[in-house]
Structure 1
């Protein structure tokens, strides 16, 4: 059984805070199954946008886990444009911003699939 988007986002936010980072929900989507995008910023100013991985990247033994891929890296303008385009396509999406010491450590907080 897959966790609801709301529950998954709540757990992510709590985990980031518990480990000394910062997290904020910028946009709340559909509670049950809204698409989740994660915007990661680090102390060096690097930014990355993660979005849902393609179905083909899911592990057959864990089909209900959420996996993410890097959609845009190090270009804030392109991240903003991508999120706006995604909102036009699906207004029920979640956007979570997290700040970590190192943006490269995002896989410590959620599963990142090979691009």
Structure 2
């Protein structure tokens, strides 16, 4: 059973805060099953956007998988047009931003083989 999107987002933010990271919900989506996108601000001028990968979004252990949906961009405002296009296509999306110098915010990026 998968967690509702809203519960996952709040748990992710709580875990981020415990790790000393700052994060915020930029856009609320459907509480039940909206797609989740995570903007990781590396605090060095680059930003990475992670979203659901093509195919299965959950690995065999139940961990949510992520893929980089756009190449790293130079600033957070550069992400806004991309997010606007996503929201126009799917109004149920969630967008969360986390500031993390390591660039992963504790997420599993890429498919596990």
Q: TM-score, normalised by structure 1?
A: 0.83
Cα offset, 1:51, TM superposition: 1.0
**Structure 2 residue matching 1:16: 3-state secondary structure:** helix
Which stretch of the first structure deviates more once superposed, 93-102 or 68-77? Answer: 68-77
Q: Is the contact between residue 45 and residue 74 of structure 2 (CA under 8 Å) also seen in structure 1?
A: no
Query: Aligned equivalents of 2:90 and 2:37: distance in 1?
Result: 12
Contact 1:2–1:65 under 8 Å retained in 2: no
| Change in CA separation of 1:20 and 1:66 when aligned onto 2, cut-off 3 Å | same
- 1:111 corresponds to: 108
TM-score relative to the length of structure 2: 0.84
- Structure 2 residue aligned with 1:67: 65
1:21 maps to 21
Aligned pair count reads 109
CA distance in 2, matches of 1:10, 1:22: 13
Instruction: Tell me what 1:50 maps to.
Output: 50
State the distance in 2 between where 1:11 and 1:34 align.
15
What is the alpha-carbon root mean square deviation over aligned residues?
1.9
Unaligned residue ranges in structure 1 (runs of 5+): none
Return the structure number with greater helix share. Answer: 1
Where structure 2 has 5 or more consecutive residues not aligned to the other structure, the ranges are none
TM-superposed deviation, 1:57: 6.7
Q: 1:31 to 1:21 in 2, by over 3 A?
A: same
Distance (Å, rounded) in 2 between the aligned partners of 1:14 and 1:95: 15
- 1:17 is displaced (CA, Å) by 0.6
